[in-house]
Structure 1
Amino acid sequence: MKKMILGILLLFCISCVNTSSNTQSKLSFYYWKTTFALDQVERETLDNLAVSKLYIRYFDIGLKNGTAVPITPIVFKDAVPLLEVVPVIYIKNEVVLSEQLDVKKLADQLVDFVLQINEHNNIDSQEIQIDCDWTVNSKERFFALIDQLHKETEMKISATIRLHQVKFASKTGIPNVDRGVLMYYNMGRIAADSLNSIYDRQIAQKYLGGLRDYPLHLDYALPIYSWVVHSRENQVIRLISRLREGDLKQQENIKQLGKHQFVVTQEMEAFGFVFQPGDLLKVERVSAEQIQEMTDDLYRASGTCPNEIILYDLNSKNINSYDQEIFKEMVRCK
């Protein structure tokens, strides 16, 4: 009898090990340009990584003369590959802070505009994602907008979730969405110092304690983008997107000070901007090792594997900065 029980337990354990070793999340991408046109690298990446879903930023919503209006809607120059498209709408927090906001009217406009874009470009969507960094002061209108969207469409509604909204869920509340996507980046302040505002493990660890008990299913969005923080006399002037160390090293009037720090040696024009002598340029990015570290920390903190990991964002320059094996490895739960 004891041998039989031991045998059953052994088979159960083997079954558990095999199940966990085969657990794998799906890999998706955000597409965050105002014009949709894929180059060869981007198309090959979608194929090589067997990507079946693309989250495309359709338009932003901001305020114009106190009225919520669409801003910079996407233009499709290429046909979308045969995969699922999730329209993403970025809503500025000022919109849901506005006391004049007509929630029903905005929800109707959002759905109608998405359907127009889809019909014009032969796209069939099953989900709309709302990206808004709502706060305690704006949550009431934001949640009302989500509820109204459910009434306006049969499509699923998802929302991006920030780390502070997980840690302080009792204050910021939980949106009535079908699922959330945790944006695991933009963790620190953008400054001229040596800190990395895109990812800081010490900062992230302070927010992960509430992940396991968060009542909404979460998938994860991870960063593969980069930018340069341009500062002068310790004051940040601007962010310059999609630049890396190699781009700065090609400029003869830029000298490297440290691993990610550079200084302008004489007045110059590059990357569409004018630089003065003494200007500091700091490259912020996430390494392949840090990406794996992020996924490991998220798996441990949540105690489960997400259905999806979404990389921000699909761009050949971002993709070429990594060995694609890291993308395949990150979706394997351990």
Structure 2
Amino acid sequence: MSYLIKPLGYKALLNLAQTEMGIKMIKDFFQQNLSSELRLRRVTAPLFVLKGMGINDDLNGTERAVTFPIKDLDDAKAEIVHSLAKWKRLTLADYQIESGYGIYTDMNAIRSDEELGNLHSLYVDQWDWERTMGENERNLEFLKEVVCRIYAAMVRTEYMVYEMFPEIKPLLPQHIHFIHSEDLLQMYPCFTPKEREDAITKEYGAVFIIGIGCKLSNGEKHDGRAPDYDDWSTVAENGQVGLNGDLLVWNSVLNRSLELSSMGIRVNKEALLRQLKETGTEEKKNLYFHKRLLNNELPQSIGGGIGQSRLCMFYLRKAHIGEIQASIWPEEMRRDALNAGMHLI
């Protein structure tokens, strides 16, 4: 069900031509900084993969992939990717990427089950990245180090935007705040997960919430996560569960938190078996990706996705993702958005 947030008195700071120029500059600048920070090389990625291989991302396990038959493969079904979480790890193995280095790519997807609104579109574009790591880096401190490197690239990009468009003042704090989802629950026990995200992000400006997918003390998860890529069940040295998380910033235009990235240390053999059992999906062990992982044919890795349109939306102080990307929207939303100062491309 679509839902439109209409910020009172909203007026875009940039016209259409300036917006397109800003999008181009942000994408070029940020990906170069991301590549340098994490030592990533760019690779070409697929738009679709064969169904039944276990390569496509299941997201929360309920979203339907867009599928189509392939005539020259006896009508075998292909799926538009949801993300490239597992494809990237296969690519690290096939390209024999050494520890400490990795890959990134432009990921384009169609998510037909999205509830359309200011932050959600049928079209998803993000930088998907993956980096080979050693077993000794399988810990929370390494995860935090990588998050800080990504966040440093985000801070630099915001300052570049300010130099280009002085009317857009920098908002990001110099350092990102880390908090575990269980500690966040204890801080705001009566709030929903989304309300907790808004409260902590408004206080700190930029937050990384650790432990997405694991069950909390109230028996619920902060948010869902597929069991076969992020490791959300390993117990860290500090006793907390999870080696993954979400990066959020405070969106002053919409007056709420904005998730820009989801990332984590990936499952090893033990974590995969544990999480498949916990989610009742042990039949996945027979799929192509899972067999290769269980046969120790895939490297240990850390990876994630960073939303391109959302990043540009934040930097250019836009109220709707449709002001950044071309997509399909309900006519009523287009009309209401335009009346509220949001020109949807």
Q: Which has the higher contact order (CA 8 A, sep 6+)?
A: 2
TM range (shorter): under 0.3
Using structure 2 for the length normalisation, give the TM-score. Answer: 0.26
- Asked which structure has the greater CA Rg, the reply is 1
- Whichever structure has more strand as a proportion of its residues is 1
